[in-house]
Structure 1
Amino acid sequence: MGCAAEKESGTQDRKIEENLKADKQKSGNVVKTLILGTGESGKSTFVKQLRIILDPAYEKGKSGGYSSEERSRYAPVIVQNVYQALANLQDAMDALRIKYERTENSKNIQDYAHQVSSDNLRMSPEDATKIKKIWNDKGIQNAYNKRSEFQLADCCKYFMESLDRIGSHGYTPNNDDIVHCRMKTTGILEYRYNVKGTEFMFIDVGGQRAERRKWIHSFEIVTSVIFLASLSDYDLKLAESKTDENRMRESLKLFEYIANHNAFQSTLIIVFLNKRDLFEEKFSASDFDKHFPEFKEWRKEEGQSKSMESCLQFIEKLYTKKLKNKDNPDQKVIFHKTVATNTSAICDVFNNIKQELIASSLRKAGLL
């Protein structure tokens, strides 16, 4: 009987081991990625791009991503983005004491700014014509050029240059419109996609300070982290701060917290240094040294001249310096310079990191 009992016990052990292996395999097949970053870093933009590029229709050369009904729901939000930009520009005109080129634009901008909180906004062709005149006002352009001194969404210029479409009858947002559309993320949102047999789960959380206390619940379940940092934030002030705190320095502090957290010591961390296009656009006009004087000292030590490329190299160094255990063999940190609003570029980046995400998931499951 002893031998029979031992045989039965051995069979049960093998079944348990097989079940555990199957559970690990199942867990390893789900690539769980947490998307983090400060507010306005481009997290939600990246999530919207994933929906587009992981739609089978995209591979066939079609737009895909969103249904006609979903696109129509974005239309009033986009109009609200335009009106919010006008409200911000109006406040800036007052604060910076900039005069309008044409007095009629002063009255018209006020009318639209007052509609920001209205529901189900629509823009008529007549509205579009008026707003174009406001946007082209020399005073407004002067304020726009000083946008580092006040809060203004990055999508402002894109939508102002698309007013004819937005104000047309039966306007339906295209993918670029949806990607540029600004909607504040609150809470925790989960997205799942099946890519050639591998299930990807992306978890998007609000980046504002008030939202970050909710992140901790997502830390233990993920196999990788994508951290977005805006390159163009170097001369911007944090919206939630009363002390004019620099946005990039806030991002660096947050990265330090995430990268050195116990939950991520054996986790793949992919850093997207995002908004490279906006960074390049402002680099010659807004002095990086003014906001990061240590850049000058770094150039001297490294024998580097002041250029866009040396500045990008310096910014990456700022983030890597936040890693307290640089020799940790279990934690891998990879950097990519991105433009989250560029669909084809994000598709290329995702294809580059896809195998890294899968490998990280398998390692976490003990299958690699």
Structure 2
Amino acid sequence: MGSLWSSDQSNLSEEQLALIQSKSIDQIIRKEAWIIKNMVKLLLLGASNSGKTTFSRQLQLIHGSGYSEDERRGFKSKIFQQVIQDLSAILQDMSDNQVEFQDPLNTEVADVFLKISNQIMQGSMNTRLGLLMMELWLDPGVKLSYQLSLNSKADDSTAFFLDSLTRLADPNYIPNDEDIIRVRVPTKSVSEITFHVKGIQFMVTEIGGFGCERGKWISYFDDVSSVIFLAAISDFGQVPSGGIEESLNLFESICNAPTFKDISMILFLNKMDLFLKKIQAGARVMTAFSNYDGVEGDAKAMALFALKQFMDRNQTPAKLIYAHFSCAIETSSMRFLFSALTDMIIRSHLATCGMY
């Protein structure tokens, strides 16, 4: 079969050529319209620090094209900046809580670390700084300060990067998949990921969780197949409880919005690993939620209580809400979860199209 623009067309009139070109353009438009019509569009929403960006990166690694070496190098400065800030915060907590270094000499080491970290270019690391940080992180007093902060501002990536200082301080260091998954980079804009599963094209749109970004959501509501909502279950038991209240209120507003009346929702109660650590550290759900009547320290009871708080915000009994407990930093478990999730979405999508 010859091309539409083969040499046989040399004797055609301008009118005939224009007609052929018009038909070719129509074919392209119809093809693109078919792709758009049959595309599964997912909206990824949630409050700040819920794990949306980690979720998106997992999708990129599992179903997308992954990250090139240049893209991986681009994460280095963010990782260095984060680990330096985290250790500085732990040292400040030590001072505030009057926690002592087990090795008195580390008081001077801490002073040198803080001085050097303030002098070097932000987001950079050198061998001397890395050695100072390793020395401090090995001190039991620093570890104690970190444990005490688990109920407040420490997160799931702090210890991971501090435990990896030897690797990070290597001049030839290039971030691996787990580094990319764990580094904190707040979503301040709109990003899209497209991928194919079993012949179906997916487009996941992630939107920043900060208040200033939420006004942009409305423009992404058209033709949405489902809404994925992430909430950090680790915010339960945290005082003040503003983080979880923000997630609950946001979930309620989205779940009951007229725009999403007939749209299913997929709720991920994320950061289960940090939630369990907080329970082990003595976090009390009852402190923030007086209606909790379960046993403090019972992880299952507390997790189910957290789930019920979200489900109770739904005012439409017939609305489909699929709930999952997740740990977005664990690639193996997320791979299994994504597989089940995409299968469910594909079945629902084909049923909507009358093909299932």
Report percent identity of matched pairs. Answer: 31
CA positional deviation for 1:366: 6.8
The structure 2 residue matched to 1:227, chosen from 225, 229, 250, is 229
- 1:308-359 CA deviation, whole Å, 9 max, x = no partner? 1111111111111000111x2xx31001111100111111001101122224
The equivalent of 1:171 in structure 2 is 173
Q: Judging changes above 3 Å, is the alpha-carbon distance between structure 1 residues 211 and 235 closer, same or farther for their aligned structure 2 residues?
A: farther
For residues 270-296 of structure 1, give each alpha carbon's deviation from its aligned partner in whole angstroms, at most 9, with x where no partner exists. 111111111112212222222223112
Partner of 1:288: 285
- Tell me the matched-pair count: 323
SS in 1 for 2:170: coil
Classify the secondary structure of the residue corresponding to 1:294.
coil
Q: CA RMSD in A?
A: 2.5
Alignment partner of 1:108 is 2:112: yes
> Which structure 1 segments of 5+ residues have no match?
1-20, 56-63, 238-243
- Looking at structure 1, the residues matched to 337 and 90 of structure 2 have their Cα atoms a distance apart, in angstroms, of 34
The answer (yes or no) to whether the contact 1:25–1:365 under 8 Å persists in 2 is no
Contact 1:83–1:112 (8 Å) recurs in 2: no
Conserved in 1, the CA contact under 8 Å of 2:150 and 2:278?
Answer: no
Name the residue aligned to 1:71: 72
Alpha-carbon separation, structure 1, partners of 2:335 and 2:151? 33
Q: Which runs of 4+ in 1 moved over 6 A?
A: 21-24
SS in 2 for 1:39: coil
Question: 224-233 vs 101-110, which deviates more?
Answer: 101-110
Identify if the C-alpha distance between structure 1 residues 71 and 22 changes in structure 2 by more than 3 Å, giving closer, same or farther. Answer: closer
Once residues 296 and 55 of structure 2 are traced to their aligned partners in structure 1, the CA distance between those partners, rounded to angstroms, is: 33
8 A Cα contact 1:32 1:224, kept in partner: yes
Deviation, structure 1 residue 362: 4.4
| Distance in structure 1 (CA, Å) of the matches to 2:275 and 2:285 | 10
CA-CA distance at 1:35 after TM superposition: 0.6
Please name the residue that 1:132 is paired with: 134
**Match of residue 329, structure 2, among 341, 347, 363:** 341
Q: Which residue is equivalent to 2:198?
A: 196
The 2-side partners of 1:112 and 1:183 are apart by 24
Distance (whole Å) between structure 1 residues aligned to residue 116 and residue 158 of structure 2: 14
TM-score (norm 2): 0.82
Give the secondary-structure state (helix, strand or coil) at the position aligned to 1:214: helix
Which residue does the alignment assign to 2:244?
248
TM-score of the superposed pair, with normalisation by structure 1: 0.80
Q: CA offset at residue 41 of structure 1?
A: 0.8
Residue 202 of structure 2 aligns with an amino acid whose one-letter code is F
Unaligned 5+ residue runs, structure 2? 1-29
Shift of 1:236: 3.4
- Tell me the alpha carbon deviations over residues 186-237 of structure 1, each in whole angstroms, 9 at most, x when there is no partner: 1211111122321110001111222222222222342111111111111336
What is the aligned partner in structure 1 of residue 85 from structure 2? 84
Matched, 1:267 2:263: yes
- Does residue 93 of the first structure (1) align with residue 86 of the second (2)? no
CA contact (8 A) 1:92 1:150 kept: no
Task: For residues 232-280 of structure 1, give each alpha carbon's deviation from its aligned partner in whole angstroms, at most 9, with x where no partner exists.
Answer: 111336xxxxxx4531122111111111111111112111111111111
Per-residue deviation, 1:71: 1.0
